[in-house]
A and B are shown apart, each in its own frame.
Chain A
Amino acid sequence: MSITCRKYYYGDIPDNNAGGNISPEKNKLSGNDWPLWEVFIRSKQGLDHKHAGSLHATNAQMAIENARDVYTRRMEGVSIWVVESKHIHASNPEEAGSLYDPANDKVYRYPAFYDLPDELKHM
């Protein structure tokens, strides 16, 4: 059977050559996707907001409403932050080494560095 040379990456879905951002006719697309937003959710009063995912919306209010429907259908949150993805600045993973390196050799920042007598309690 000739079709068996097709690739199957996930279950019964054949690969063909679909799904990559390689389509030559990309210019026929309108480029009119709504802006992308990042969603942060506070799961419980007293905890930090944590990144939950992203979604498309035309403005902040719609982003919050969509975030409620998409990310908090089961009481996962008591507060939602949204910020347009283009406003997020991120550190460069390739520079992670030099960025965090100075913190690496200062073991005296940790309590376990200090070897104190056992009779000292509650410290």
Chain B
Amino acid sequence: MDDFEKNFQGKIDAEIKIEPKDWMPEKYRQTLIRQISQHAHSEIVGMLPEGNWITRAPSLKRKAILLAKVQDEAGHGLYLYAAAETLGTTREEMIDQLHSGQAKYSSIFNYPTLTWADIGAIGWLVDGAAIMNQVMLTRTSYGPYARAMVRICKEESFHQRQGFDILLTLSQGPDAQKNMCRDAINRWWWPSLMMFGPKDSDSTHSDQSMKWKIKRMGNDELRQKFVDMIAEQVKVLGMNLPDPDLKWNEEKNHYDFGEINWQEFWNVVKGNGPCNKQRLDARKKAWEQGAWVREAALAHANKVKLQTHKGTLEAA
């Protein structure tokens, strides 16, 4: 380890944040660009399953809330893209890597939203799981990423609460609504557990990322925290989680839970989930069809600049 690297690790150990112009190991920079850009892609692709229900929300109030929530997710994507750009990549390059399939996004968004209750389950479970990760990341070692996370976490708690509120209303409704609520919980529970990634024993990620304090908690620990939280909250709905092995463990002071279907997990990650193709196609289409807007706005701005320049010359 050379002096630069020693100095760098010393700052990390002393909980001093790294800022864009500070010296950093190339691997640290690359790791962050990957993680932050893929996190940004997740926020943007994450708008699709929910956007699917904006026009069909059951009331004006619900529609307005869902619109605000989806707009927040667009904002999260932008905060994160901007944070990644401070490391020297460009927006165009990141988008290009998403579209070419080189960069990934969270697999959870490759599941379909079949009923209105899914919007409730997403807010409660999917945003709930994301919050676990994101709260940890408010303490990540790279300044711009940590600051983006603080902003995001402030907004996320509304997301989870509105989701729970949707399910609570359904759970108190007639049988048809109760069933919708139960069905959505059943379908979203396991995929949201998968959001925390493979077991720590099955992934090789953590050492360096932990040492650099990019990531500060293991997948298993975060997943356990999530299970403990949701297992209690589901009681308020008068519902159950679809796991016969879920039970309180007095000794560990945690909930025990059943084995995740890792076959399904790897399958969706590899691109064979129910909506992988649909999601990516939707993003590409939006990008391609918006190309003329991007070009026209730039051309217009350049023209105005040229005119002002000419005006100044003539006046002189």
Contact = CB atoms under 8 A, between A and B. Distances in A.
Interface of A: 1, 3-23, 26, 29-34, 36, 53-56, 58-59, 62, 69-70, 73-74, 90, 92-94
Contacts of B88: 21
19 contacts: A1-B266, A4-B204, A6-B203, A8-B219, A9-B34, A9-B209, A11-B195, A11-B196, A15-B205, A16-B103, A18-B37, A21-B33, A21-B88, A21-B90, A26-B93, A56-B91, A73-B75, A93-B19, A93-B23
Given A4-B202, A29-B96, A36-B85, A12 B78 contact: no
Interface in B293-313: 294-295, 297-298, 300-301, 304
**What are the nearest 9 A-B pairs in CB distance?**
A19-B34, A58-B301, A18-B103, A21-B89, A18-B102, A20-B30, A19-B37, A9-B35, A8-B205
Contacts of B104: 13-14, 16, 18
B30 A18 contact: no
B21 interface: yes
A19 B92 contact: no
Given A9-B31, A22-B30, 15 more contacts: A8-B205, A8-B219, A10-B35, A13-B104, A14-B269, A15-B34, A15-B205, A26-B93, A29-B93, A30-B92, A36-B85, A58-B300, A62-B301, A73-B72, A90-B21
Given A4-B202, A12-B269, A14-B269, A19 B297 contact: no
SS class of chain A's interface: helix, strand, loop or mixed?
loop
B34 A18 contact: yes
A10 B215 contact: yes
A5 B38 CA distance: 19
B97 A34 contact: no
Nearest to B101: A18
B275 to A, nearest CB: 15
B94 A19 contact: yes
B106 interface: yes
A85 to B, nearest CB: 9
Contacts of A58: 297-298, 300-301
B71 interface: yes
Nearest to A91: B21
